[in-house]
Structure 1
Amino acid sequence: MSVADDYEDLRHLVDRLTPAQARHLRVLVANDEQLASATVRPSPVPSAVAPLPASFMELAGSIEGPGDVAERHDDYIRDRLRDRFSRHT
């Protein structure tokens, strides 16, 4: 039996547990000397966040506009296209 088989068997087992059984298993694992380290979750936010590079800011640009720019996006685009193409006719 390979490690992949072990993982698959464990996933299948956990999927079949009731919520109460899953909580019980979590307590057992957390209190087991060899398994307790598996219950530590990594931090979702890195401790040191690197600043964005200048090239990203140049690509993204700045967003300046009315507060409802996201809600009225289609209207603004339509108006801009109408203005651009009505001048050439």
Structure 2
Amino acid sequence: MTAAEDYDHLRHVLDALPPATLRHLRVIVDTDPQTAPYAEEAGAEPPARRLSFAGVGDSGRSDLSERHRELVQDGIELDR
């Protein structure tokens, strides 16, 4: 495969991805040591700040998925 074929294939894949998956992929590209320098050269913005409740699943509480909208809203209000 040539670089042009790779680029064309990836462009089509990106066009087909839902927005949430695109954001996830962008975070990976922006933070991966092998790809981050290229993202910086291309003028990509740094990844968005993670919400403070990320990782709270280790707390042992079982109601986190039920309360995810409340937790996200709290995180959004803190940014204001």
Structure 1 length-normalised TM: 0.44
Larger radius of gyration: 1
